[in-house]
Amino acid sequence: MVDYIGVSDVARIISSMGAGAFMERLAGEIEADYRRWSQFEKSARLASHSPVGVIELMPTSDGRLYSFKYVNGHPKNTAQGLLTVTAFGVLADVDTGYPLLLSELTVTTALRTAAMSALAAKWLARPGSRVMALIGNGAQSEFQAIAFHRMLGIRELKLFDVDGAASAKLEHNLRALPELSDFDIVRTGSTQEACRGADIITTVTADKRNAVILTPPMIAPGTHVNAVGGDCPGKTELHADVLRMPQVRVVVEYEPQSRIEGEIQQMPADYPVVEFADICCGRAPARTSPAQITIFDSVGFALEDYSALRFLHLLASEQRDACRQIDLVPRLPDPKDLFGGTLGGGRRARLRKVS
């Protein structure tokens, strides 16, 4: 039997732990895995693009455990009442090849994306950052707000979305959470207004195009930019001149993948960036001055999904009611007799006896 965690199981876990606590613990697991960066197999995700979206596979292994995630991104899905992003994943034992866990990753990806954003900001944002602009108030926005409130102490959130209903939805959902009672939530009329006075700017828009969400005049010295929405070829949020600003320092997850999918796809191949693993392992400094503008060019990397699956599997071992089990792999009296043990007469006889 294989452990299975579905959407209802994740919802039950979050109801028990709280979304903020879950993301804070998950961020710790992600950081621990980044600290052993050299142990992981690394590759850019395998992507199948269409005019309306992308379907991707994201595998990695540390030699002991193997994981992959299946994920799509289809921005126009919401017009049909469908989610823009859905995902599931598998954690497997390398020694046997047997799957240990099959899990939903639609909700968990939203949690791990926000956990990774807040983790990067803990390293890169100025100490004492308390005001965040949140540009794009769709499916990921609540998770980002909760993570930054919990992990960085953000107290003022300035919202903007071209869809006013999305901002109203976000504000409603956040105000319903008792742990965010000290959050000052301000809806603004433009990106420029939202960014004014912000210590951190998070962009998390969904359009699959080279959008211009931020331009240099919107970004004050010392700001940390959490650029989340640009995550595939032809999909960006920052004007290229933002990346050319002399005081900018760009941090990525896995450089070969970010060159294809991140904001830096707009720049020459020799454009300088720093990998996050080098920062958290002490091989490179994070912020080098209070006036420096730091950009976390986030596209999502397979290691983070590995961490999320490993964390869910740990929770399943600690709390058996955190998961269910499914017969994804046959259990056979004779492992050399697949037919007889599943479809043959002996199997049917056993089933009749049980019934």
At residue 351, the pLDDT reads 52
User: Considering only CA atoms, which of 16, 302, 129 is closest in space to residue 25?
Assistant: 16
The pLDDT of residue 350 is above 60: no
Percent of all residues in the chain with a pLDDT value above 70, rounded to a whole number: 97
Q: How many other C-beta atoms can be found within 10 angstroms of the C-beta atom of residue 193?
A: 15
Label residue 25 exposed, middle or buried (CB < 10 Å: 0-12, 13-18, 19+): middle
Kindly list the distances between the CA atom of residue 21 and the CA atoms of 147, 192, 301, 331, in Å, as whole numbers in the listed order: 9, 32, 22, 37
Catalytically annotated residue among 231, 270, 297, 327: 231
Q: Give the pLDDT of residue 230.
A: 84
Structural Rg of the chain based on CA atoms: 22
Query: Which pLDDT score is estimated for 75?
Result: 85
What whole-number distance in Å separates Cα of residue 355 and Cα of residue 79?
A: 47
* Average pLDDT, integer, range 91-116: 98
pLDDT at residue 346, rounded to an integer: 57
Asked which of 68-72, 220-224, 229-233 is least confident by mean pLDDT, the reply is: 229-233
Mean pLDDT score, 160-172: 97
Q: How far apart are CA 355 and CA 353, in angstroms?
A: 6
Tokens coding 31 = 């950081």
Q: Which pLDDT score is estimated for 317? A: 87
CA–CA distance, 306 with 302 (Å, rounded to integer): 6
CA distance 276 to 35: 10
For 133-170, letters b (16+ CB in 10 Å) and e give: bbbbbbbbbbbbbbbbbbbbebebbbbbbeeeebbebb
Pairing of strands 184-187, 200-203: unpaired
Domains and CATH numbers, the chain: 2-107+304-331 (3.30.1780.10), 115-300 (3.40.50.720)
CA 105 to chain centre: 10
221: left (phi > 0), else alpha (psi -120 to 50), else beta?
Answer: beta
> HEC profile for 171-223?
HHHHHCCHHHCCCEEEECCCHHHHHCCCCEEEECCCCCCEEEEECHHHCCCCC
Residue 161 known to be catalytic: no
Which residues are registered as beta bridge partners of 202?
Answer: 134, 226
Confidence of residue 173 (pLDDT cuts 50, 70, 90): very high
SS3 251: strand
Task: Tell me the average pLDDT of the chain.
Answer: 94
Does 58 score more than 80 pLDDT?
A: yes
Q: pLDDT higher for 254 or 351?
A: 254
What is the pTM for the complete model shown? Answer: 0.94
Averaged pLDDT, 166-189:
96
Alpha-carbon 91 to chain mean position: 17
